């Protein structure tokens, strides 16, 4: 048996066959394990946190958030970078929106010139409170727990 078309089979080729199979099986096995581990790591970065899973953490001073002007705050929890838009709205008070698009979890950007969130991946558009205005997102941006304690803004896990 030969590996390449047109090559002649030799006794040495045949004696190497079990070792080749063993090496191929090892490479496939190691690749599979690494692939599964990689998917797990990527999934943790892409998926928004589970409901109620995060403690309240300080993300800034209330004075530093202008009215009706979403501000992205980033912090680490459980070794994972978190991104949350904190908004002091004039009609609803403080809200916090997870920055993951609800379509395929890309990070949305606040575009102050048009006062909308835009997703760079597939054109999803949300209003300042995270309601879907256009594109493929199936639901509003996820809200996160937010509390104002003194002058400190505290953000926690997903509400719904």
Rounded-to-integer distance, Cα 152 and Cα 59, Å: 8
Closest CA to 109 of 121, 99, 122, 98: 99
Q: Which is nearer to ligand FES, 95 or 101 (CB)?
A: 101
CA distances to 41, 56, 120 from 70, rounded to whole Å, are 29, 19, 18
Please give the residues from 134 up to 153 whose contact with ligand FES meets the rule CB under 6 A: 135-137
> In the set 104, 111, 133, 148, which binds ligand FES (CB under 6 A)?
104
Among 19-27, 62-70, 76-84, 119-127, the segment contacting ligand FES (CB under 6 A): 119-127
Which of 121, 145, 154, 159 is the binder for ligand FES (CB under 6 A)?
A: 121
CB-based burial label for 101 (10 Å; 0-12, 13-18, 19+): buried
Q: Which residues bind ligand FES (CB under 6 A)?
A: 101, 103-104, 106, 119, 121-124, 135-137
């Amino acid at each position: 048996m030969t590996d390449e078309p047109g090559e002649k089979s030799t006794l040495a080729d045949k004696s190497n066959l079990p070792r080749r199979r063993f090496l191929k099986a090892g490479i496939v096995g190691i690749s599979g394990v690494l692939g599964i581990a990689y998917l797990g790591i990527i999934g943790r970065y892409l998926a928004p946190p589970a409901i109620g899973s995060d403690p309240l953490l300080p993300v800034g001073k209330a004075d530093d958030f202008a009215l009706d002007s979403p501000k992205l705050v980033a912090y680490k929890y459980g070794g994972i970078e978190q991104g949350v838009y904190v908004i002091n709205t004039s009609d609803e008070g403080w809200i916090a929106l997870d920055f993951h698009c609800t379509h395929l979890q890309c990070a949305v950007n606040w575009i102050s010139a048009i006062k909308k969130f835009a997703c760079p991946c597939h054109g999803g558009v949300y209003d300042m409170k995270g309601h879907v205005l256009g594109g493929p997102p199936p639901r509003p941006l996820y809200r996160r727990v937010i509390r104002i304690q003194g002058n400190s803004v505290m953000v926690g896990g997903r509400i719904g």
